[in-house]
Chains A and B, each alone.
Chain A
Amino acid sequence: MYPKQEVVAMLLAGGQGSRLGVLTQKLAKPAVPFGGKYRIIDFPLSNCVNSGIEAVGVLTQYQPLVLNEYIGSGQPWDLDSMNSGVSVLSPYQQIKGTDWYKGTANAIYQNINYIDRYNPDYVVILSGDHIYKMDYSKMIAFHKENNADCTIAVIDVPLEEASRFGIMNTNPDGSIYEFEEKPKHPKSTNASMGIYVFSWDKLRKYLIEDEETEGSEHDFGKNVLPRMLEDGQRMFAYQFEGYWKDVGTIDSLWEANMDLLDPNVPLDLMDESWKIYSRNPVVPPQYIADTAKIQNSLIGDGCDIGGELEFSILFSNVVVKAGAVIEDSIIMPGCVIEEGAVVRFAIVSENTVIGKNAVVGARPEDIENKDEWGIAVVGDNLKIGAGAVVAPKAMIAEDIEGVE
């Protein structure tokens, strides 16, 4: 018998994140490294713990090995209690057949048993590809105050960007009267953050109904939420103020990392009252050599830095040899940047070696045709040979021979 949990969180972590290309070739998007030591999933997981949520189901499907291993027992997030904590929920074989998670709503539907055993009043649906710090307990309190059936977190976005999001149009009391999915002419700028609070009895009913509806894509945004609105359920928009970023593309992932270096961006990872927990590597502190020059950068444990860094984020165990230059780039764990290599506006994935005098990426001002410029991305466990050149915007998935 499981003790009752007032709130259960369900974290949708099955997405492939195909727009991240080589970065998600071998791992699910929520497992992508972020910010010099974290993985994206650390943010929603830490938010759950810091909000007092003790039962978290993580729904995995695409390339789950790294993610499952990372979550493990849940100990780093204090989610390894005896009768609650984190549970990794993969699709499974059932009496009536075997199914992948067909959509976001279907993924929750297939795990009704997991939720039921905690007998919760509320279920929070989260996604595993956003960087933000949020106290879900405040949103749940808002949900209760309004006696709502469903509450959707929204964030004010610039009008010109509003057509990229799902827009919630609300009455003055905050209740939602209309959804518009990626509208051409948005009526408001309240973008859905993909964070929902449901009263469990209502959600349960709608999930079962949706499962039986032919032609449904079993998706929250496309099917379940519109259906609830049609039925006149109490749906409210919860205004979130603070930093929130979808890191589903190379550009947004790069920007969100760089935001950590901007003192004007309200995403403080040093805040003791709202820590972001993660699995920590067992390595010594970083060593900064005589030859190093470091400006405005974040550096993880175990790094050995002899080169020049500017506006860059280095994860653990990165070696930067003397004479190498890294600017405006993200270097993931275990990479080696050899002497004379120059890395600019790039993301280099884990354990890759950038050879002597190789050049990866370029500054936008050094490129004539701006359409050819973009963040260069080098996949994991690759070798970029000495003197090789990786063009801006390139996405490298194989070794490149040296030219020296």
Chain B
Amino acid sequence: MRGNRILGIIFSNLHEKLISEITERRTMGAVPYGGRYRLIDFPLSNMVNSGINKVGVLTKSNYQSLVDHLGSGKAWDLSRQRNGLFVLPPFLDPADYANRVSTFRSIKPFLENSTEEYVVISDCDVICNIDYQKVFEKHIENNADITLVYKRDVLPAKLHDPMVLSFDAKGKVTDVLVSPSISGTCSYYMNMMMIKRELLIDLVNKCVSKNTMNFKRDMIQAEYNTLNIYGYEFKGFAPIITSPAEYFNANMALMNSEVREDLFRGDRPIYTKVRDDMPAKYGLDSKVKNSLIGSGCVIDGEVENCVLFKGVYIGKGTKVSNCVIMQDTKIGANSNLSYVIVDKDVTVRDDKTLAGQPSYPVYVSKESVV
């Protein structure tokens, strides 16, 4: 389905402080997840699978690894003669990207020069497989100005500036609370929305002229009485990465086959950059249970309840349990790791022990040697 009417916009840099260690040297969008992916693969693939063929990726700083990952956009079929992938760093001053509204102002030429009628906007810290065509259908059916994608659940702890929505029977937004103190199930905004491109430009102009630059308060909360704002409930797997523990849990959730089927559906695959690793190799003394294993891994030891990314080595006599181990990390012989998040290219030498707690996994930073 070419010539889609929707433009995609992805914020790749938001909420990084919540997992400051993992994002120290990368954007939120470049955070590794699930044995082979980066978080940006999810919004990008969702957009592409919904027929969107023009996507702007907004990135403020630390974007080397993101740009390296995205390349020309080929892996997402976004390397195109017409449209395709647009990486949009700040033109001059990173302060231009200080908040959502000022970011939209900075990319106004991009918005104005696009011809798509609608815009779908997503962050990178929500991991899900969503069909934006369905959101679009609802948006048209409701004759909505804005459609906000929400989830009904208990508010995730530490969620940044959560926006809680109330609706009438038709799904029209009747109340908007920003950062309320609330317990129990509620409908919280997943930082994904659909809006008419021209309306977005108008709203941004309005906020800028009044210098009211808070997206949730000034663009949504202040407008829900005057605009047709509707909700779209997403019912699938959709963790939001709000802390290292949540990041850990979101990885561990993949051991559940229903979660994998929901997230990695055959009809809407998640694309990512490929690396030409060989298949994973299991040695003569390997013991692997309940784990997700990336290609290029070589396992001579014991692995239980783990996510191993591409090219990880587990030495003989070593036991890793309840760990997330990122790509190309090598763990020597006779070591013992539990509840550890090990970043890329780490070397753990022989006979080492590292242990965290279920609620507080230990983190080992990129390229370190233990």
Contacts and interface: CB of A to CB of B under 8 A. Distances in A.
Interface of A: 35-37, 75-76, 269-270, 275-278, 280, 282-290, 292-301, 304, 309, 313-315
Contact of B271 (A37, A282, A297): A282
A288 B288 contact: yes
B289 A37 contact: no
Interface of B: 34-36, 74, 254-255, 257, 260, 263-264, 269-271, 274, 276, 278-296, 298, 303, 307-308
For the residues of A in contact with B, the DSSP-based class is loop
Given A282-B269, A284-B260, A292-B288, A75 B298 contact: no
Closest 7 CB pairs between A and B?
A36-B279, A285-B35, A269-B278, A280-B274, A284-B264, A298-B279, A294-B282
A283 B280 contact: no
Contacts of A290: 289-290
Given A284-B36, A284-B270, A277 B276 contact: yes
A298 B287 CA distance: 14
A293 B299 CA distance: 13
Contact of A280 (B35, B276, B290, B291): B276
Nearest to A301: B295
A339 B295 CA distance: 25
Nearest to A288: B288
A175 to B, nearest CB: 39
B78 to A, nearest CB: 14
Contacts of B290: 288-290
Contacts, number: 101
15 contacts: A36-B278, A76-B274, A282-B270, A284-B260, A284-B263, A284-B292, A285-B35, A286-B292, A288-B288, A288-B290, A289-B289, A294-B286, A295-B282, A295-B284, A315-B279
B293 A288 contact: yes
Contacts of B270: 282, 284
Nearest to A299: B280
Contacts of B295: 37, 285, 300-301
Contacts of B308: 285
A35 to B, nearest CB: 7
Contacts of B293: 285-288, 299
Contacts of A285: 34-36, 292-295, 307-308
Contact of B35 (A269, A276, A284): A284
A36 B296 CA distance: 11
B280 A287 contact: no
A27 B82 CA distance: 35
B294 to A, nearest CB: 5
A285 B308 CA distance: 9
Contacts of A315: 279
Nearest to A317: B266
Nearest to A280: B274
A283 B298 contact: no
A225 to B, nearest CB: 35
- Chain B CB within 10 Å — which of A269, A276, A287, A300 has the most? A287
Contacts of A297: 281-282
Contacts of A270: 278, 296, 298
Contact of A275 (B276, B281, B284): B276
A287 B293 CA distance: 6
A30 B329 CA distance: 34
Contacts of A276: 276, 278
B280 A286 contact: yes
Contacts of A277: 276
- Chain B CB within 10 Å — which of A35, A290, A295, A301 has the most? A301
Contacts of A283: 264, 269
Contacts of A294: 282, 286, 288
- Chain B CB within 10 Å — which of A76, A275, A289, A299 has the most? A299
Nearest to A297: B282
Nearest to B303: A288
Contact of A284 (B34, B255, B274, B303): B34
- Chain B CB within 10 Å — which of A280, A283, A285, A314 has the most? A285
Given A283-B269, A287-B292, A294-B288, A37 B278 contact: yes
Nearest to A286: B293
Contact of B283 (A289, A292, A296): A296
A35 B282 contact: no
Contacts of B35: 284-285
Contacts of B278: 35-37, 269-270, 276, 298
Contacts of B279: 35-37, 298-301, 313-315
Contacts of A304: 257
- Chain A CB within 10 Å — which of B264, B271, B307 has the most? B264
A297 B298 CA distance: 10
A75 B292 CA distance: 29
A269 B296 CA distance: 9
A297 B289 CA distance: 15
A315 B279 CA distance: 8
Contacts of B257: 287, 304
Nearest to A291: B289
Contacts of B255: 287
B296 to A, nearest CB: 7
Nearest to B273: A280
Nearest to A298: B279
A280 B274 CA distance: 7
B289 to A, nearest CB: 5
A76 B276 CA distance: 9
A92 B307 CA distance: 51
A298 B286 contact: no
B74 to A, nearest CB: 7
A299 B288 CA distance: 12
B260 A287 contact: yes
Given A287-B254, A288-B293, A290-B289, 18 more contacts: A276-B276, A280-B274, A280-B276, A283-B264, A283-B269, A284-B36, A285-B308, A286-B293, A288-B303, A290-B290, A294-B286, A295-B282, A296-B282, A298-B278, A298-B279, A298-B282, A301-B295, A314-B279
